[in-house]
Structure 1
Amino acid sequence: MNEELLLTLEFEGTEREEGRILLSEMISKLEALTSSMNAVNRALTHKRKTTLYYRVAELNRVTEEHIFRITVEPVEKNIESRSRIEETHHRFFEELNRIRTTKEPSAEMSDDVIERFQALVNFDQDKFGGVVLRNHQSIVAFDDELKSAISSYLDSSEISYGSVEGRLERINLHGKTKYFVIYPESGPQQIRCEFVSDLKDSAKSALDERVVVSGRKFFRANQPFPHRIKVFEIQTLPQSASTDHLFHMRGESDDPKPSVETIRDLRNDW
């Protein structure tokens, strides 16, 4: 095993369950870890496909402490080089610790990455007494401070109404909140679009199509593009259609207005 590429998830069992943990709960966290690592890697490389794969390298239990440790390692079929995997692991820990201390991630980390972080670090107190992730040089505890910092960041938004164009390439119909993801030709890398059940057929029929999504847009402070949309309407575009004006960005301007006002004007322009 290459020690520098190993990742170890440490689960603490609960007194209520006498230290035992459901296998499905641990597998769920391993899947969330893989998903989060790939999200970070996509943010760094701008690739859309999964390129990092892991396998269990070691599993042990410290009975008297109700601790289970699962160590995983990258598998040979990984497309990425060793240096890229090391960089992804480094940035993964760096981003989680940055969110803990500064309450926000680096600019290149999209909401998709942070939402995957949230799925990874959140857990039911009835299932685990605690969860820690470590590698050869870093450690991060999935504690209340980190959970709160991630939730606060994802919940902070400014709102306006309008439309956005992009290609609808991913859709999730499971769970309470149904959503799809659009990939604009310019502006943000991707936007999460949440919709009600009445729009399910429209969303499904628009998969892999260029669409104009209209609804309530949510923005981070001082950001001209939305990170999330509550969808009211989905319009599928013909192949020849173009609505590039929806993502028109102003060039240099002599406008003396403060940047915050300019950003708000940009939001209202599309």
Structure 2
Amino acid sequence: MSTASRAQSTASRAANSSALEGLTRAGFIGYGIVHLLFAWLALQIAFGKPAAEGDQSGALMTLAQQPLGKFLVVAIAVGLLAMAIWQLSEALIGHQDEQGKRRVFERIASAFRTVVYAYFAYTAWKVFKGAPSSAADSQQKKTEDLLSSGGGRAVVIIAGLALAGLGIGLVVYGVKKVFERHLKTGQMSPSTRQLSRRLGMAGYSAKGVAYGIAGVLFVVAAATYDPQKARGLDAALETLRGQAYGAILLTLMALGIAAFGLFCFLQSKYRKV
């Protein structure tokens, strides 16, 4: 058996593991909690009272400071790791649709989700261990290093365009309700399906706008040699807050991110795993 075949066989066994499925569904709950806290931080920024960084790492740090917070953070890390393993198996063996076809795009998307979930699991673990885990500071420092190196400016621009493209993709994903392909909609009541549709559309659109702004700011950072603009979602929220009617726009975005958090809770039960 070739290495590729063995990898696919291992991935297939992992995908069919009931233990992995249980941890993955728990992971969606943890992911939802992180986004609800992220939305709370965005609201604080909207009203001029930022208590932590306005991104998922800030949400995890905020959670860790609460009673039993570190226990919840490590539980979230385990759940996110399970989600990463699940998506890795999907990327390796593919997911069959109703016609039995394996969608290449979905396998690529699963590979991307693997990286995202693994990154947040690692971030949660660092928060649990008490290590500095400022995603915004890290992004700013890396951008500063790149801008001071030959060819680094082009790398930052490409990264910004990719992030902006991701933002556009998330908005399209939400508006066109593509997320429903991954839900067991047949098991939902009409009211639950309508709720999941509204939460998914609002949630993915809000996240898409946030990532899109962050991507544009990366490009601006490269054009103006200003690494402070390359702080990811934290900079995106701060930039939005500084615009006309920024507090209102940021509040709407926070509500959208909260909607995504609630959508994650629904996914914990109805996601096809």
What's the TM-score once normalised by structure 2's chain length?
0.24
Structure with greater Cα Rg? 1
Higher helix share: 2
Higher relative contact order (CA 8 A, sep 6+): 2
What's the TM-score once normalised by structure 1's chain length?
0.24
